[in-house]
Amino acid sequence: MSRILWIAGRWTAWAIAYVAGLMALVLAGAWVWWQPDPKAGGTEANALWARHQWVGESHTEEEYRAFGELLKRHRITDVFFHAGPFEPDGTVPESRHRNARRLIAALREHAPGVRAQAYLGQIRVVEDEGVIDLDDPAVRARVLKTDEKFLDLGFDGIHYDFEPIYPDDESFLELMERTRELTRARGRLLSVALEQPPLFDRLQPVYKALVPRTGTVHHPPRPTKEFLRAVADRADQVAIMTYDVSLPTRSLAGWHFARHTRATLETIGDRVTVFMGVPTYRPLMEWAETLDVALRGVRRGVDDLDRPPARPYGVGVYADWTTKSGEWDRFRRNWLP
């Protein structure tokens, strides 16, 4: 019995050493890959997710002026102003956006040309869990009526952020189709925030097998390439929520941003404007996932493209309520051309 335990312990030790060696090789390879400076520069098509207080509370003229100057200085083309969330029936109470008209007027005065979009979303019902049921045609119809109200207030577009969205969500695609008809008829924009795609589409069945969609536990809602193209064909802009990396080193986090930038731009960069989400908050692995790392990673991803995409692309800063002056300094230094 003792010999069996000795043999098992020896094999376990060898297995641990083997795995540790592989991890060391991966870390070393990522570090070497990360060292060269990216050749690609930043762009002048950039977005910002903005806090709800801009539409929900009043502000002074000086506050509006300062915000407009910030947007112009950092070449922000689109601001997603949080204006929701949707109620379960697809409506948004007017009390939540009582300052919207004043905001739009101030933005046109202090940052002309910057597009203000109504950032609307909710937790999507999946397996009887969630808040809003987009499978209900009546709910989708009320969502469209709510969109109309925000366009009437003067917003330049609608920005959807429903979560989770899985790549078999036909109801969401139907809502996108109907919303695009509305926004195009008004000469406005439709944009959408989506989770980052999986490393490989073939991993979706693995996710489903290992983490079934039961109760409140779901496999990651990663869009496949086919679904990403379907969404892009129904939108003017797609923002990929590339943050929340949770990788232990800067080189691995940078590889994450580079890989998703390349894959996304290769998949839909010729169809739609793309914003790659970059964080300015303090994530779990804050020593690795920083704004500097994210921006450098996006630029490395652009370097890896065979050619530039046909449509504009840039980054989406998440978010204005976590971005301090130091982060804006780094944004200008590491991204703006």
Give pLDDT tens digits for 289-300.
Answer: 999 999 999 999
Percent of the chain with pLDDT over 90: 76
Q: What is the pLDDT of residues 4-23, one digit of tens each?
A: 655 655 555 555 554 445 45
DSSP 167: T
Q: What is the pLDDT of residues 129-172, one digit of tens each?
A: 999 999 999 999 999 999 999 999 999 999 999 999 999 999 99
> Would you say residue 307 has pLDDT above 70?
yes
Average pLDDT, the chain: 89
For residues 284 and 246, the answer to whether their CB atoms sit within 8 Å is: yes
Judged by phi (left if over 0) then psi (alpha if -120 to 50, else beta), residue 99 lies in alpha
pLDDT-derived band of residue 30, with 50, 70 and 90 as boundaries?
Answer: low
